[in-house]
């Protein structure tokens, strides 16, 4: 089979699981402990901003000391050594891909390390807790700071750039995602429409496995480095 010339990789919470970050929908996952409507929607934030800040402050604090794993490093190696077009799109809001060296990277659901001002749109690195009584460092307004995270019902970031990459790719790879949340879950159809081959790399088959032309199941720290080695070997 001809080697790929343009790869788009989509990652989800499963790629960070072996680094110690909870996934969402596995047993004991994040959504089994809290109702996403209360903490990951604009309505939830309007109803109880303290609860939402506490939810994200706890997750931000939970990132301290967390390190990228072999799967993150393998994707950064693929970006460096693969001669063709490459784009990594992550649904994750942790910074493990950057810490592993990935550069051509889009955080379509935002970044936990950033604050966003609901008044002026200012976004910046914010490593402490966020709360309702903090003033925005750009416009000074109080009570408008939120995590720079895309909630349900909000438009994910850089969708034009993502769809353009999908339209031009000949290989789409989904790593560690249950394929439950749209529009990310629809990327495979965009890639297939572009004539791309599609590969699922996941711990176990997902509901969407049959939509992929190929699938490899196992732990990300094992199957992702092995797959990257194979792609780079040509
Ligand atoms: C929007 C916030 C509209 C950040 C998240 C059709 C089209 C468009 C929208 C919709 C649609 N149908 C429904 C919708 C609405 C909704 C949606 O998709 N709902 C679902 C529940 C049906 N989508 C939206 O609201 C999106 N916005 O559509 O806006 C719009 C239009 C115009 C103008 C304005 C607006 C916004 C979606 C983003 C929501 N934000 N998170 C945060 O708090 O983190 S989503 C949340 O789910 C996370 O971002 C997460 O990344 C994402 C997906 O979850 P996964 O990453 O896949 O994680 P999961 O736990 O599910 O799976 C883990 C996988 O890893 C498993 O497969 C497991 O087997 C595997 N695994 C585990 N361990 C390992 C492993 N694999 C390998 N190795 C291991 N060791």
Q: Are 67 and 150 in contact (CB under 8 A)?
A: no
CA atoms 99, 199, 194, 186: torsion sign: negative
To test the pocket of ligand 1, the residue of 181, 188, 221, 224 to mutate (highest count of ligand atoms within 8 Å of its CB) is 181
CA distances from 205 to 58, 106, 180 (A): 31, 25, 13
pLDDT for 191-213, tens place per residue? 999 999 999 999 999 999 999 99
Query: Using 50, 70 and 90 to split pLDDT, how confident is the model at 2?
Result: confident
pLDDT for 136-164, tens place per residue? 999 999 999 999 999 999 999 999 999 99
> Ligand 1: does its nearest atom lie under 6 Å from the Cβ of 177?
yes
pLDDT for 63-88, tens place per residue? 999 999 999 999 999 999 998 999 99
Q: How close is the Cα of 156 to the center of ligand 1, in Å?
A: 10
Query: Tokens 């967390």 identify what position?
Result: 66
Residues that are catalytic:
109
Q: Which burial class, exposed, middle or buried, applies to 41 when counting CB atoms under 10 A from its CB (0-12, 13-18, 19+)?
A: middle
Query: Using 50, 70 and 90 to split pLDDT, how confident is the model at 234?
Result: confident
> Is-above-0.85 flag for pTM?
yes
């Amino acid at each position: 089979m001809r080697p790929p010339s343009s790869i788009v990789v989509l990652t989800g919470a499963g790629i960070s699981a072996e680094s110690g970050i909870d996934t969402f929908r596995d047993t004991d996952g994040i959504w089994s402990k809290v109702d996403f409507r209360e903490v990951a929607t604009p309505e939830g934030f309007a109803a109880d901003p303290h609860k939402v800040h506490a939810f994200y402050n706890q997750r931000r604090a939970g990132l301290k000391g967390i390190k990228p794993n072999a799967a993150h490093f393998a994707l950064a190696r693929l970006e460096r050594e693969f001669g063709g077009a490459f784009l990594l799109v992550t649904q994750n809001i942790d910074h493990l891909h950057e810490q592993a060296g990935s550069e051509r990277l889009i955080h379509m659901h935002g970044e936990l390390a950033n604050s966003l001002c609901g008044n002026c749109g200012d976004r910046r690195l914010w490593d402490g807790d966020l709360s309702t009584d903090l003033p925005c460092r750009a416009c000074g307004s109080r009570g408008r700071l939120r995590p720079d995270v895309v909630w349900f019902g909000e438009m994910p970031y850089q969708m034009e750039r993502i769809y353009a990459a999908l339209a031009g790719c000949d290989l789409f790879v989904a790593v560690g995602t249950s394929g439950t949340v749209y529009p990310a879950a629809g990327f495979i159809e965009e890639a297939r429409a572009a004539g791309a081959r599609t590969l699922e790399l996941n711990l176990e088959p997902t509901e969407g496995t049959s939509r992929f032309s190929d699938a490899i199941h196992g732990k990300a720290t094992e199957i992702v480095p092995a797959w990257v080695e194979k792609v780079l070997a040509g």
